[in-house]
Chains A and B, each alone.
Chain A
């Protein structure tokens, strides 16, 4: 098993190198560097001496090859360095933001999965009936809805009109709440963004679950379970839903990348200082160390996905099917 893992890791290596190199090339293509962006930010765009000094200090005056080596070395040694834009260690910035994004994505995926599994099973059991049509149509429409717009609609309804939930942010700013109150406060802030992610992404799980349930319903073991006299509820739960969960659960682990993309928009809409918006800032600030740090987080995520996907041959098939639908 260990040898197998090591071999998979080595196979994933070229992919990781390509991604890392791609990010570097992308930044080289960009006009201006972090110093330009920083100076523009503090209103000192014309100060050439300061610019030269800063470039010297952050190694931006080095040759292209040297800079690439520095970048690759910092990735390989997990030494994340100093963020020019935030004037803080990159690790600090990332560690501050990562939990928020993880919490947001985690609750978003959980909601999407619960909705997809529950409604997918329901639609399969009511196949061709009005419930099936209503559920699949709703998923189809929500899947076509832009996340940022759905988020704003939810804000209009639940924060502006009904005033049930906060407009945005991750916690109430001046709150000194601790313990259970702080948790509840964060949970209240999470409801709308998590709902936005969950509602826009559950269609995939619904499709997978519905199809797998229909397959299971046609299976020999369900016929056998009926012939063996098992109660219908048992058949649905143990012999249809349980096997049908396999492809859905497998897909869960693979959706994190897509959701990371979605979380950029959702974090912007709900003013959540998370990793998605951090990546956006790193690119627009040309902050290479910061970007390298966020790329590292993405790479870890990719690595987990790759290992996971390679371990289970069915995953690749499902991915292809999901992409092809």
Chain B
């Protein structure tokens, strides 16, 4: 899907740029630990110039939480997406290139992982492994790689029949080298189209885990901010509204940007 007007292609990248800037400049925009209590609890937004977006029930600065939360969301989202695609590419390339028993075994494994609801698996993994940023990344990667593996496998199957791959084989290149040096780059294009969605999904899963209390307790994440604000939706709805808005914005920004890049490369789906 695509927004119709000509400047709409800029919405994603501009939003993403703002978020990246917030994440990079977080220590300057809001110095100190966002988990520290800095003011009177439940300062309303737009009432105190030092805390423009107010404070939560523990007196933590909401603005600081949001800009530092951008770091968590983007870093965890990107790392998890990179790991997801990495596993998917590895499995897909091996399965597609080697074929035979290895292909069968890997595809059964892929199906097994794909049939378990992604979020349930991530949830189980984090609750078993313990809530830390690294485990969240790991859990997202382990639960989300199957679509990437299937996509890469299909592409590898297509590319490996092309002439230049035969040429490499005749030239005596080692099979694994052919797989990853000759075949894989040709099969990667559709993965680019998948990347934006994968990052967006990863951000959503991270925020949902944090919302359920399975985020890294030492980091201020948008999802855990929503969870904290939940008890106060009657009196201070902004504690829920603002961080959630940030999550939706981040997901929209990465998927629009990914879609735009895919479209530029001529991979996009029809409008």
Residues of A within 8 A of B (CB): 14-15, 18-19, 22-23, 26-27, 29-31, 128, 132-133, 136-137, 139-141, 144-150, 152-153, 155-156, 160, 203, 207, 211, 214, 257-258, 260-262, 264-265, 268-269, 276, 279-280, 283-284, 298, 302, 305-306, 320, 323-325
Cα-based distance from A30 to B119 in the complex (angstroms): 18
B150 & A262 in contact (Cβ 8 Å cutoff): no
With A144-B252, A148-B208, A268-B212 given, is the CB distance from A324 to B115 under 8 Å?
Answer: no
Tell me whether B129 is interfacial, beta carbon within 8 Å.
yes
Can you pick out 22 interface pairs between chain A and chain B where the beta carbons lie within 8 Å of each other?
A18-B112, A29-B129, A139-B1, A140-B3, A141-B248, A141-B252, A144-B248, A146-B211, A148-B223, A149-B244, A152-B240, A152-B244, A156-B233, A156-B237, A160-B233, A211-B269, A214-B270, A257-B116, A261-B117, A265-B212, A284-B127, A323-B146
Cα-based distance from A84 to B115 in the complex (angstroms): 27
Which residue, B120, B147, B204, B255, has most C-beta atoms of chain A within 10 A? B120
Tell me whether B257 is interfacial, beta carbon within 8 Å.
no
Cα-based distance from A211 to B271 in the complex (angstroms): 9
With A146-B208, A147-B208, A160-B233 given, is the CB distance from A298 to B120 under 8 Å?
Answer: yes
Closest 5 A-B residue pairs measured CB to CB?
A: A261-B119, A149-B244, A323-B147, A18-B112, A144-B251
Cα-based distance from A302 to B108 in the complex (angstroms): 13
Interface string of B211-232 (1 = CB under 8 A from A): 1100000000001001000100
Chain B: minimal CB distance from A16 (Å):
8
B211 & A265 in contact (Cβ 8 Å cutoff): yes
With A156-B237, A284-B127, A324-B151 given, is the CB distance from A298 to B116 under 8 Å?
Answer: yes
Point out the residue from B117, B123, B256 that lies within 8 Å of A258, measured CB to CB.
Answer: B117
A207 & B1 in contact (Cβ 8 Å cutoff): yes
Cα-based distance from A173 to B21 in the complex (angstroms): 48
Point out the residue from B4, B255, B269 that lies within 8 Å of A133, measured CB to CB.
Answer: B4
Residues of A within 8 A of B111 (CB): 15, 306
Cα-based distance from A94 to B251 in the complex (angstroms): 35
Residues of B within 8 A of A144 (CB): 200, 204, 248, 251-252, 255
Residues of A within 8 A of B129 (CB): 29
With A153-B241, A160-B233, A160-B234 given, is the CB distance from A19 to B116 under 8 Å?
Answer: yes
Cα-based distance from A209 to B244 in the complex (angstroms): 29
Residues of B within 8 A of A264 (CB): 119-120, 123, 212
A260 & B154 in contact (Cβ 8 Å cutoff): no
Residues of B within 8 A of A19 (CB): 112, 115-116
Chain B: minimal CB distance from A10 (Å):
13
Nearest A residue to B208 via CB reads A265
Nearest B residue to A200 via CB reads B204
Which residue, A128, A136, A149, A269, has most C-beta atoms of chain B within 10 A? A149
Chain A: minimal CB distance from B55 (Å):
19
Cα-based distance from A283 to B122 in the complex (angstroms): 11
Residues of A within 8 A of B124 (CB): 23, 26, 279, 283
B120 & A261 in contact (Cβ 8 Å cutoff): yes
Cα-based distance from A307 to B170 in the complex (angstroms): 42
With A160-B234, A298-B117, A305-B115 given, is the CB distance from A146 to B244 under 8 Å?
Answer: yes
Point out the residue from B125, B226, B234 that lies within 8 Å of A26, measured CB to CB.
Answer: B125
Residues of B within 8 A of A141 (CB): 248, 252
